[in-house]
Chains A and B, each alone.
Chain A
């Protein structure tokens, strides 16, 4: 116990610890996304990953609560220090938590829709979106951890592109005459992919946008 106390005493910066925990949330949600997509593609069985996905979701929720508590403590003990950073973290930690929730939603779709994403005209665009999101996950960790504005901008444009593709897919799904189960499953997958991309983009905007404009990367400034 004393050794732990001394170690923590020397480790001065709570905010650095909070940032590390946030990155951990992103890493966990990335793992969840990859595992869920492997199930959707038929590369893994649902039973192999379902329990792990739910456990990871709980880990993410716990990390969110821990980070919020620590932010409060930081502001109570050192008021006025790093206020913006704290408010940004308070906002993005919600986005990271939503990533976990949407990955859980994806596994629920996989559970209800027993067929794999291997053929059909919707599979290719969905898998393209999935690959783009994979890259976004890798990019957002780098962008946030290292304050890399170039990486952040690239994530935001990737998100814009994913939004367009998903909107197009939804239009096609509405016009198409698919069986109900397929239509619902593909609609939900499209919707969830779009939301995951949006939350990753929100996190990226925190690197480049001032605090009042967090999450507003695709809307014009001022009245139209």
Chain B
């Protein structure tokens, strides 16, 4: 590369860093704005939200459906953290939403696998490679959710971890973020309340949707910018190193997802390679586990943003998300033959008859949530 191109390349890189910092700032501010809106909505709104979410099956359904529709578990978990941070939702009731988001996010790479539907063998492999993530998350929820319902172990573990933050740099980081973001968030709040012509009651909703819009926009562009910064470099050593060992695959899945802030992006990257036969389901499984853990960073960031003096509930929810994914990996990595065999069996079925692929997707992302709504009446 000649010096002029190098300078240009460096300038673009710096521009992207600046853009990224601005987007992260927007993300933190939007969390605060949403929090203000939820608090400002008053007791009535909080009561109705608590009433709806008091049924934890319904919470799981909300998590799956919302994430399937917007295809971003980061957005849903960040929103849940904002709700918990502002006090309208408790950690206990928000945890099922997080678990549901974990399942809902896998629809993206399942959709990517449908792009390989023309050639049977390719589709068999691609679908297995995509669905293994979904199967793992579903199995993890099937094991850990009842445990959480009966013992509250996720909440308790997360509370223990949160106490570790209190009084050390973690909480101070949260307060620093608060200091940086709160003035802007307050400015936005004042501006909306001043300019909105239809009264204070509806102004709260305007603020809420505005905050939501900023949150989605920030996350969308964060992922885009990070993707453009990371993937060009990644391809240079993707083939040689990443899937050489399970540990390396896991670490790269974790770090890459931390960097790109989207497990949907990182897990859907490998689906075409599995379809082409370059990688196997066995090779990508540890990578998927790493991606699951890496994606919790967004909720952690949102949790830190909600930390104010004496309030760490948002952070607790984010830590619950982390604990869930770590536990799931610890349980199902030794038992990986279960999700892998199930994925391959489903891949075989889907390849022999393509409609099974669609049935599988409809079942997981829509029928199961529907069953949960039904169960919600009785539990």
Contact: A5 with B273, CB < 8 Å?
no
**Which of B236, B237, B278 is within 8 Å of A72, CB to CB?**
B278
Chain B residue contacts of A73, Cβ below 8 A: 235, 238-239, 273, 278
Q: Measuring CB to CB, which residues of chain A are less than 8 angstroms from any residue of chain B?
A: 4-5, 8-9, 11-14, 17, 69-70, 72-78
Most chain A CB inside 10 Å of its own CB: which residue of B232, B239, B241, B273: B239
7 inter-chain pairs at a CB distance below 8 angstroms, sorted by A residue, are A8-B240, A13-B236, A73-B235, A73-B273, A77-B231, A77-B235, A77-B238
Chain B residue contacts of A69, Cβ below 8 A: 239, 278
Most chain A CB inside 10 Å of its own CB: which residue of B235, B237, B238, B240: B235
Bound form: Cα–Cα A148–B327 in Å: 58
**Which of B232, B239, B273 is within 8 Å of A12, CB to CB?**
B232
Contact: A75 with B239, CB < 8 Å?
no
Residue count of chain B within 8 Å CB distance of chain A: 17
Judged by a CB distance under 8 angstroms, whether B119 is at the interface is no
Bound form: Cα–Cα A4–B240 in Å: 10
Q: Measuring CB to CB, which residues of chain B are less than 8 angstroms from any residue of chain A?
A: 231-241, 269-270, 272-273, 276, 278
Smallest CB gap from B240: residue in A: A8
Q: A77-B231, A77-B234 are in contact. List 15 more A-B contacts (CB 8 A).
A: A8-B236, A9-B233, A9-B236, A12-B236, A14-B235, A14-B236, A69-B239, A72-B278, A73-B235, A73-B238, A73-B239, A75-B272, A76-B269, A77-B235, A78-B235
Chain A residue contacts of B273, Cβ below 8 A: 72-73, 76
Bound form: Cα–Cα A87–B235 in Å: 17
Chain B residue contacts of A77, Cβ below 8 A: 231, 234-235, 238, 269
Contact: A5 with B237, CB < 8 Å?
yes
Chain A residue contacts of B272, Cβ below 8 A: 72, 75-76
Contact: A12 with B233, CB < 8 Å?
yes
Chain A residue contacts of B236, Cβ below 8 A: 8-9, 11-14, 17
